[in-house]
Structure formats: C-alpha cells, structure tokens
Amino acid sequence: MSIKGKAYIAGIYEHPTRKAVGIPLAQIHAEVAKGALEDAGLSLSDVDAYFCAGDAPGLGGLSMVDYLGLDVRHIDATETGGSSYIVHVNHAAQAIAAGKCRVALITLAGKPRTGGAAPGRGAMAIPPPDSPFEAPFKPSVLNIYAMCAQRHMHEFGTTSEQLAWIKVAASHHAQHNPHAMLKNVVTVEEVVNSPLVADPLHRLDCCIISDGGGALVVVAPEVAAELKRPKIRLLGAGESIKHMRGGEVDLTYSAGVKSAANAFDEAGIKRSDVKYVSLYDSFTITVLMQLEDIGFCEKGKGGAFVADGNLISGVGKLPFNTDGGGLCSNHPGNRGGMTKVIEAVRQLRGEAHSAVQVPNCDIALAHGTGGLLGTRHGSATVIMERA
C-alpha cells in the first residue's frame, strides 16, 4: 500500500533542553507530546495511535499510553535505534492509509547527558547472538564508525579534510540556533587538528551527547484539511536493514541504498527535485556515506561533493541539517532521527531561521541510520512536500 498523499505531518516539537536536570524521562515524553499537539492545533483526546521506540520507559508504549492518558486503537513500538522515528512516520502513514487511525503521535526522549538509563528495555540488556563472535574484539561505537571512514578513505581516496567540511557546514548552521550546544563556527583546520579519537576520526568528527526529545503528529488528509497549520504531505518512505551477512562485510555502503531507492520510487520524483536534506550525523562519515547511498552523488565521490561548503545553506547546492544537527545542536538520547524530520518540516513550512531557510523549499528528505553503520543497522528515508 502506497502512502503517497495519504498522510500529513501536522505537528512538530523539539524540546529546548539539552541538559534535563530533575526532569523524569516520562515527563519529557509528555512535554514534547503536548508541544507537537499544540503546534498542530490538536489535543491528547484527538490521538488514536501512539508510536515510540526503546527510549520510552517501562513497558514502552503500554506505559506511555497510560501516562499520557491516551485512548488509542493502534500502537507501534518498532525499534531500529536512531532511525526508529523515521520508520514510525512511515508506519503511521501506512496505518492511516489502512484506516487504522486518524491522528498518530510519535515521541522520543532521552537523558544520556544527565545519567538517565540507556535506551532499550529488558530484552536489549541480554547479550545478542553476535556477542560471542564480536565482543572479544572490543568493538565500540567510535571504532566501528572509524573503520567505515578508514575503508572509505582506502577505497576512494576520501580525506580527513573532506570529512571536516561536514562539521564546518553544521557549525555554520548551528550559530543561528539559540538552543544548539555548539554554536561556534569551526574551520576545516580546527576539525582535523582536534584530538584523534579513533583513527581517522577526530573529536570534531563526532556528534554531541544531549538530553531532550521531540515529537511528531501525523494525520489523515481529512484531519489536515481542518487544521490551520501548513500542510506537509508525505510522498514516499522506505526502510531497510543491513547486517554482517555471516561475514560478507562491505563497509562502503549502508542500508540507505535500499531505503532511499524505495522512498524515491514511491514518491515518483528525482534526486534533483529535493531542495533540502536532513541526514543522520552521528559522525561526519555517516553523512558522507548517506549522500552517496541515497544517490545525491556517485559512490566514492562523497568527499568531493561535501567539500567547499556544498552543504551550507545559501552557499552550496544541497543544504543539510540547518539546525546544526547532531554534530552541533541536539542528539537527544543518542537518537537523531526525530530531529531530522522536525527540521525538514520547518524548512518546508518556511519556519527555519531566516539565515538558513532554503528559498522555495517545496520538497525535503529526512534520512536516519540506527544501530552501528559498520555492523548491523536500520536505515529509513521519508520524502515530504509542502502541499
């Protein structure tokens, strides 16, 4: 079943905090839910579907539906790490198209900066089946992403300076975001001269760690028609998972190859039609590989594509993460898919900061990667347009 034109994003909200001292996790979920519903012009009593991932406390959706006092007829707790919330947009649209609900609420909250529990409920604490084979080699988030960067450099000649341009672009945008954790504009030299944390990645190649959260409201066309907010129509979406394939490892591409292809096929548009992109930016290499895998440039040409400010709004051909992204602004709960959709909607509404607003932004793409890019991960892509 196609979702094209069958659902709209009516409400968005990003929690302003980056350090949630004294705020319980469930309360952050509640505050972002309230904010997104108010943005849409709806209330909790209008919600008939709820979506969350492993960041939700207790029994996840069951606990949060109770906490929020919702009366729902559809629930989804799909977990694909940081890409979960883009998957939820797709699933909410599918549920709406199938007549299962009319108003879907999606929430995210996390507190890694102030010592909140790591995302994931009980089952995620049990060692996965891959653990006996991989744990002896002491994998970490840093060194796994560094392996992807090192392999890309080996295969295609990508340089640290080219990766640094991604951080530079994010910093140029973050300076205009009053809530961004890192507001200072940085140079390529400052990025490559920052401490090496996992060869070839430097400290400034890495995302921030922040508390916070966000929420989305996805609605049926007839609901959207009654609301006063700008109408953001969903055109297409895709999701995919890539894993180790029993040892057939190729670190040069991600599951985004499939998720993006499916999204564009459903949307029926070309890559050149996209005016703005929100890309998961856990590390600079994550952005570079997604640009290639989505199809904005050829495989191996990502380094040249991101160089010389090509991702800076008002300067380059393809503005990205105009809020500063996870590299500079916000990475709530170490899960960045939510904020990617939020900023894409801001751009389509014309509500981004004036210094970074993309002129005539009528089509935008949000893409997320959850899990570990170098091992097993889920990718999700959603394409939206201003109706």
Lowest mean pLDDT among 55-59, 208-212, 304-308, 335-339: 55-59
How confident is the model over 246-269, as a mean pLDDT? 94
In 3D, which of 8, 110, 56 has the Cα closest to residue 65?
56
pLDDT at 120 over 60: no
Q: How confident is the model at residue 139 (pLDDT cuts 50, 70, 90)?
A: confident
In 3D, which of 170, 208, 109 has the Cα closest to residue 319?
170
Q: How far apart are CA 252 and CA 241, in angstroms?
A: 15
pLDDT at 122 over 60: no
Torsion of CA 250, 253, 380, 282, to 10 degrees: 100
Q: How far apart are CA 79 and CA 123, in angstroms?
A: 12
| Residue type, position 16, single letter | P
Handedness of CA 365, 370, 372, 376 (dihedral sign): negative
Q: How confident is the model at residue 247 (pLDDT cuts 50, 70, 90)?
A: confident
Q: How far apart are CA 173 and CA 320, in angstroms?
A: 9
Q: How confident is the model at residue 123 (pLDDT cuts 50, 70, 90)?
A: low
Please tell me the predicted confidence (pLDDT) of residue 176.
98
Please name every residue paired with 232 in a beta bridge, in sequence order, or none if there are none: 9, 386
Please name every residue paired with 179 in a beta bridge, in sequence order, or none if there are none: none
Yes or no: domain 131-205+235-386 corresponds to CATH 3.40.50.1970: no
Q: Show the tokens assigned to 307.
A: 């160089």
How confident is the model over 137-149, as a mean pLDDT? 90
Q: Give the tens place of pLDDT for each residue, 282-301.
A: 999 999 999 999 999 999 99
Q: Work out the angle between the directed axes of helices 141-156 and 284-294 (0-180°, nearest 10).
A: 50
Yes or no: domain 8-121+212-233 corresponds to CATH 3.40.50.700: no
Q: How far apart are CA 30 and CA 15, in angstroms?
A: 11
The better pLDDT of the pair 252, 127 is held by: 252
pLDDT at 117 over 80: no
Specify whether the CB–CB gap between 234 and 382 falls below 8 A. Answer: yes
Q: How far apart are CA 125 and CA 309, in angstroms?
A: 42
Q: Show the tokens assigned to 205.
A: 């190649």
Q: How confident is the model at residue 130 (pLDDT cuts 50, 70, 90)?
A: confident
Q: How confident is the model at residue 154 (pLDDT cuts 50, 70, 90)?
A: very high
Lookup result for tokens 């049926």 = 220
Specify whether the CB–CB gap between 146 and 163 falls below 8 A. Answer: no
* Beta-carbon contacts of residue 38 (< 8 Å; ≥ 6 apart): 11, 13
Domain boundaries in the chain?
8-121+212-233, 131-205+235-386
Q: Are the folds of 8-121+212-233 and 131-205+235-386 the same?
A: yes
3-state secondary structure of 336: coil
What is the overall mean pLDDT for the chain?
A: 95
Q: How far apart are CA 385 and CA 308, in angstroms?
A: 28
